[in-house]
Structure 1
């Protein structure tokens, strides 16, 4: 059902450097880009992330209760993604670990405060 998720930023070059490095091991493709405005990363059908300045020109703020979830493919990849986010200056929101019912997850915030979950089922 989900087609893509969007995260807002107030510093696009800094955000793109964060996401380029964070997603590098997942081999994303840049599907769309408007220089100085937005970039869309694609990791497969129905797996797109848009990093953008808000269209209305107002300040980007993380939404309370909003979260982007990524499935990098294994528990080890979850661990690596969380570690990479910390290395890049992200904020820890929950170290990698079992969360019950076969859900293994880690939580962090990007440089703009957007909450992200990396998870693996099974």
Structure 2
């Protein structure tokens, strides 16, 4: 249903370095690049993520209540993505751990303050 999500940035180079690492840990890389924007994903795969400088040339701001969830294959991958995010300019919003029956997640913000979550869902996910 969702093809991709776009997040704003005020520093494309810094944001690109963050998403290169986080998306790399999820097994995907840059799919498209054009002036002022980069997209990560896999053609024909799940939803991708784009990072862009706002078209209206105004400052990028964070949407209150907006969050992008990155699906992982295991609790170990959730922890890996979270650790990579924090090591590359992200900030903690909730460490990896069970968040209910069959749901394991970690929450963090990218260098521009956009909120993300790495999660796995299903039997054995709440490790």
What TM-score bracket applies, with the shorter chain setting the length? over 0.9
CA deviations on 1:26-85 (whole Å, 9 max, x unpaired) are 2313222103x1011114523200011011111001100000100121110000000111
Give the Cα separation in 1 of the matches to 2:12 and 2:68: 18
Q: Which residue of 1 aligns with 2:63?
A: 63
TM-score, structure 2 as length reference: 0.90
Where does structure 2 lack aligned partners over 5 or more consecutive residues? 123-127
Aligned residues between the structures: 121
Where does structure 1 lack aligned partners over 5 or more consecutive residues? none
Give the Cα separation in 2 of the matches to 1:72 and 1:12: 25
CA deviations on 1:77-116 (whole Å, 9 max, x unpaired) are 0000001111112110000011012110000000000000
Q: Which residue of 1 aligns with 2:9?
A: 9
TM-score, structure 1 as length reference: 0.93
Could you list the runs of 4 or more consecutive aligned residues of structure 1 that deviate by over 3 angstroms after TM superposition?
none
Q: Which residue of 2 aligns with 1:42?
A: 41
Give 3-state SS (helix, strand or coil) of 2:99's partner: strand
Give the Cα separation in 1 of the matches to 2:52 and 2:73: 26
Q: What is the alpha-carbon root mean square deviation over aligned residues?
A: 1.2
